[in-house]
Each structure stands twice: as structure tokens, then as C-alpha cells.
Structure 1
Amino acid sequence: MLVLGIETSCDETAVGIVEDRFTVRSNVVASQVDLHAPFGGVVPEVAARAHLELLQPTIERSLVEAGCRLEDVEAIAVTAGPGLAGALLVGVAGAKGLALGRDLPLLGVNHLRAHVEAAQLEFGELEPPVVALVVSGGHTSLVVLEEPTVDGARPGFRQLGSTIDDAAGEAFDKIARFLGLGYPGGPEIDRLARSGDPTAHDFPRPLAGDGTYNFSLSGLKTAVIRELRRLEAAGREVDLADVAASFQEAIVDVQVDKAVRAATDLGIDTVVMAGGVAANSRLRARMADAMERTGGRLLVPHVQLCTDNGAMVAAAGANLLAAGQVAELSLSADPNMPLADLPPDPAGPTS
């Protein structure tokens, strides 16, 4: 069965086609980076207008790369949230048109869940329980994928912790902009940090020892900016690579510590990393080392499946279809759609 997935939650117009839930037939991304780079961040109206122009040619290219026709597709999946309202609406409207025109099932996908379920495209079925660290431009959270309590239902996500202010991707973008680097900031800091000393600056690790699984990055950003201004006022030369490496290390330290601690506390041996920030080379390396030391298993997809893409939406949609969770044509976009669909565990440290 072929499922076509449409992703327009932010600034990437992406379409992927997945066969039988696990095989990627195509995964096409039309990037808008050049449109937003002059502004140092995503401009919602610009993103929505670009999606309108790029969606149809991206669908056509995805079909060509998959070696199939639209007539061969058996379901249409689309990101319904969370994300930018205008951008989401373009994708949802396009998916509705395809589903209605071809009389196909419509599948409304949670963008964050799709990031986690992208792992099945490389590692096969995700067998609960699994701890997932979801880190992207707008989201940083720890969740656990649990066994369903009802026969035939999908596994559910329970929230363990989340950021109380900025997400990791936002922090990378803001510090990159302050350092005069390009957009998006995450890849630029990752690149620059490879030639820097991660111990050069002693930046804080917010909430590192607070006993929860929450994150905070606003104070870290402030500390970096104050240190740069202090050095400038003192007339000292600033090695940007050292700053980037030290800043990145502070973020990675907390994320790795809390993800591994959550898995240990819950007695779970598998951790999934998902989202655009999961493409960060230092985070991937540190998490792999930490999980190896604990004897656990780390699942982190290829970089192309970490960033926003259509294949992850198609995979998540195929899972919905298998569970019989088909959306109505009245499906609407939900910019604030949560990832967790299970209530918090009152016995666990979440705040």
C-alpha cells in the first residue's frame, strides 16, 4: 500500500511516499531557506505563500521519484499540527483536495509524532516502551511511548518533561544570529563548533540537577550574550568557534543527561531521538556514547529523516490507517496540537 504524505508545518514544503509503512519510495523537500535567510528566521506569511507555489510541483516530483502515478496512491496523509497556522492550512487544504478528488482516505498526522515514527523507516516497528527525545525548532520535550491499553489501539505518548521557555532550535537560531552566522542557526553552530573547544567557556546548564525532565534555555542564551559583551568590553579577542562549541555542549549535556536518566528511571532500554536538532552531530555522538555505557539502544534516523520531511508524515499516516483512524474531510489545522495523548503519570517527576 502506498501512502503519500504532505508536510507544510513550517518552512519546508515536503512530500514523501511510503510503501507498506516501512519503505521509503520517495522523499522530496523543497526548501525555503533562501527566502527566510535575509530575515534571520521564518516569516509565517512568506512561508504560507511559498507552500502555495511549491506544493503541486513537489507532489509531482515525489510521484516521479517513487515511480508511480497518483492513481497508485491509496491514502493521503498530511501534517495537521502543530506548526504555523497559515502554513498548515495550505497542506491540509491540498490534502483534502487530493483525498476528495481521488476518493481516498484522509489521514491527519501529528507533526511531532511523525518525527518519532520516522525511526520505523530505518529500524522497523517501534516496540513500546520507548523514551523519545523530541528536539526541533519549536519543540523540546521528553516523552515515553507506551503500550496501548485497548486492543487494536495505537501506542500512546506520555509527557515526561518539556522546555519551560525556548526550544533548542530557537536557542541555536538566536545565538547564531548574535554571532553573525547564517540561518538556520543549528547547522551553522554545529559546523563552527567542530573546530572549537567545548570547555573554553563555562556556560550554565539550566535545570541540570533539578530532579525533573524539564528543560530551560532562555538563561543559557542570556549567559552567552553577556559573556560575549564582557569580553568585548575588556578588549579581548573572541574565538567564535570556542563560543559555539561551549554553547552547544551546554545544551547537549542537559539533553543527554535527562534523556538517559529518564530511560534509567523507567527501566526502558530504548531511546529515540527525533526532530531537526537530532541532526546535530555532537548530540548524536554524545547520546550514542551515553547509551552504549548504559547498555541501551539508541534509535536516531538519518539526518534527512530528522529534519521536516514528507516520508515521516506518510509513515505516521500509514500507522493511522492501520489502526483505522481515518480523518473526516472537515479536518482542520491545529497549530498547538500536543504530542502527548496520555495523561501524565502522577508518580513521575514532570515539573
Structure 2
Amino acid sequence: MRPVFDWANSLADARNALVLGIESSCDETAVALYHTTDGLLGEALHSQIDLHAAYGGVVPELASRDHVRRLPGLLAELSHKTGRTLADVDAVAYTAGPGLVGALLAGASLAAGLAQGADLPLIPVHHMEGHLLAPVLSEPELDFPFVALLVSGGHTMLVACHALGRYELLGQSLDDAAGEAFDKTAQLLGLDYPGGPALAHLAAQGTPGRFTLPRPLTRQRGLDFSFSGLKTAVANQLAKVSDVQDHPDLAADFELAVVETLSTKCRWALEATGMSRLLIAGGVAANTRLRAALQTLCEAQGAHFFVPSAALCTDNASMIAHVGALRLADAQRSGAPVRARWPLSELSAPRGAAHA
């Protein structure tokens, strides 16, 4: 099986190329440089957490304006970090979707302007494919095929990855994504935004086992997810307790319910596909209890487990520049379209690439 990195080397246009990646799909603004031979050269990133904290969630208009404001400075910071300028860049990759339309347009507009001004090709990148292949940046031995669990605030899905651009959706969230359930449950517990990390911190102080919470959609062997009922179950349990001292235990039981649900679905996905590699990506992939549970699962199943570094779990431009390098054959000379909704199944292999 050919390693993932060989996709870039198998394309004539991708040899010895430097790709600038731009990420602006939601509330992280980032730029990065990836070289097809030397790997990741550097990244500059700004998080909008403080901007949105007062509202308890992302405000799309504020996010879009902040991307426009931050991107020029981040480009200057990246140039200072890497010693590279736009004159050294061979192509510009940007997040084309899915995401918030205004936020996507901020990055796409900059990408189009830079590309037109320097006569560079543009590469639209699918945000979820970026997450899907982010573990390769820290686990270069990862090969196709593998099962991927993409788990974040906006998405929870299981994908059978047969080759670059050949993705089979096995199951997805029918309502709240796991990360969304974390955030909403954190609000119920009176925790600050962003709720996911705050809830995980609170759960670490508690002991699971006191509260009975469901493991949604695990009574039958399906691969779809549903977490809205779990959030409601937490609200019902919360109404029965009056002491804030109970919150850590309730948080621990909630986190365990999510982790066990995700772990069960991953086991079923491995068994259904016959694959021996499991990858997790997305913001919730940074959760230590989830990482530990899936590591244990893979050891029991005789499977290999891959997870990106914590910095690559959240939205970042490194993964966008990386996928851009893999998809140099798909570069275009004009236009920078964006798509708020973009099914992963609509992707295909890069033009001219032979499947492994």
C-alpha cells in the first residue's frame, strides 16, 4: 500500500512545490506553508474564542469581520517565522467549505487576490478532508484504507477511506454532533464558552456511575449518531439535584456516555469494513478520555490507532496546506468558489492520480 505522502510525489505538478494554506471556515483564522518534500514549514493562527465568549457561541458576522482583520497580519507573521515570502509560493490552497459562508469568503477572497496578483494556481480544499488527513502530519506511516471518526462541534461521522478522494460515508449525526452536545451540556452546567474543554475539565474532577444516561442509538447495530437526547437526559438529571457539588459527577457521566457511544460505533465500523486502522480527527479528538477508550478498543481489535496532535485537532491551516499539496493537480487559475454545505462523498481522487 502506497503511503499517503506518495500521492503528492506521484503528480508531476506536485514535485518540490510550496503551498500556502488559508483556513477561515468558522472561528479560527490561520495560514500555513507546506512543502511537498520538506513537509510543514510553519503556521500562524488566531483563535476567536475571546471574541465570541460573551455570546456563548460563534456569531457569524463577527467571525467574518475578524477573519478579514486578522489575515494580513498572520501572513506577515508566517513569513517572519518561515523566512518565506509570496514569491516562494507555488500555489494557494484555501478552505472552500463546508463552513460559515461569510467566513469562507474572507479566506477565499484573500486566496483569490494573492493568486491573481502573483499568477499562482488556486486549490479549493474540503475542510473535512483536511481534518481527515491531519493525522498524516504527525503519523506519516498512516496508509489507506482506514476508518475515520470525524468528531467536532458541527460534525460527527464515520467514514471508510479507501484512497485519497475515495470516501464512503458509513454513518453521521442525525441531530446534534458530539461537540455540539458537549457545548450545550456545558451551558446547562453553567460553564464558560467554549464548553467542550470546560466540561472535560470538570468531568476529570468527578466520578462516573452516579447518574444513568443513555448511549444513543446503540441498541441496534447502526452507525448513525444522535446526541440531542443525551443532552436532554442531562437536563432531566440536573433538575433532580440542587447542589453544584454534583456537577463534576454528572459531567463525568455525560462524557463517559459520549465516549462509550463513539467507541461502540467505531468497533462496529471496523467490524463492518474489515479494516485494521482507525483514525479520529476534529476538535473532540483532543478529548483524553476518548483517545484512551479508542486506543484500548484498537488494541482489543488488533487494529492500529491514529490521532493527530492536539494542535491539529482544532481548525488549522496546516491541514489545508497539506491537502492542497496532495491536490495540486486540481488547481485552477481563476475563481475561488465556496460552499456552506459540501458532502464529503462528492470528492474524487486528484486528476491524474492512480489509485493504490
> Normalised by the size of structure 2, how large is the TM-score?
0.90
Runs of 4 or more, structure 1, over 4 Å off, are none
Contact 2:124 2:336 in 1 (8 A): yes
Distance 2:227 2:97 in 1: 24
Partner of residue 179 from structure 1, selected from 180, 189, 206: 189
Aligned counterpart, 1:334? 339
Aligned counterpart, 1:325? 330
Matched, 1:216 2:226: yes
- For residues 31-46 of structure 1, what are the structure 2 equivalents within 5 Å? 31-46=47-62
Aligned counterpart, 1:311? 318
Matched, 1:272 2:279: yes
Distance 1:99 1:320 in 2: 16
Counterpart residue identity of residue 131, structure 1? V
Aligned counterpart, 1:53? 69
Cα 1:268–1:179, aligned 2, differ >3 Å: closer, same or farther? same
Distance 1:161 1:342 in 2: 17
What is the total number of aligned residue pairs between the two structures?
332
Aligned counterpart, 2:13? none
SS of equivalent residue, structure 2 residue 54: helix
User: What's the RMSD between the two structures over aligned residues?
Assistant: 1.5
Partner of residue 196 from structure 1, selected from 203, 206, 225: 206
Aligned counterpart, 2:248? 241
Contact 2:23 2:316 in 1 (8 A): yes
SS of equivalent residue, structure 1 residue 340: helix
How many Å apart are 1:256 and its aligned residue? Answer: 1.1
Flag structure 1 segments of 5+ consecutive residues without an equivalent.
148-153, 344-351
Aligned counterpart, 1:151? none
Contact 1:78 1:107 in 2 (8 A): yes
Contact 1:231 1:238 in 2 (8 A): no
Aligned counterpart, 1:348? none
SS of equivalent residue, structure 1 residue 123: coil
Flag structure 2 segments of 5+ consecutive residues without an equivalent.
1-16, 349-356
SS of equivalent residue, structure 2 residue 131: helix
Counterpart residue identity of residue 83, structure 1? G
Cα shift readout 1:114-138 (whole Å, capped 9, x = no counterpart):
0011111111264221100001110
Cα 1:51–1:171, aligned 2, differ >3 Å: closer, same or farther? same
How many Å apart are 1:237 and its aligned residue? Answer: 5.7
Matched, 1:15 2:31: yes
Cα shift readout 1:103-122 (whole Å, capped 9, x = no counterpart):
11100000001001111111
How many Å apart are 1:52 and its aligned residue? Answer: 0.7
Contact 1:17 1:63 in 2 (8 A): no
Contact 1:206 1:215 in 2 (8 A): yes
Distance 1:102 1:328 in 2: 11
Cα 1:225–1:123, aligned 2, differ >3 Å: closer, same or farther? same
SS of equivalent residue, structure 1 residue 119: helix
Distance 1:210 1:342 in 2: 30
Aligned counterpart, 2:78? 62
Aligned counterpart, 1:118? 134
SS of equivalent residue, structure 1 residue 134: strand
Distance 1:203 1:171 in 2: 13
Contact 2:120 2:333 in 1 (8 A): no
Aligned counterpart, 1:346? none
Distance 1:56 1:227 in 2: 48
SS of equivalent residue, structure 2 residue 344: coil
> Normalised by the size of structure 1, how large is the TM-score?
0.91
Distance 2:299 2:114 in 1: 45
Partner of residue 141 from structure 1, selected from 157, 167, 170: 157
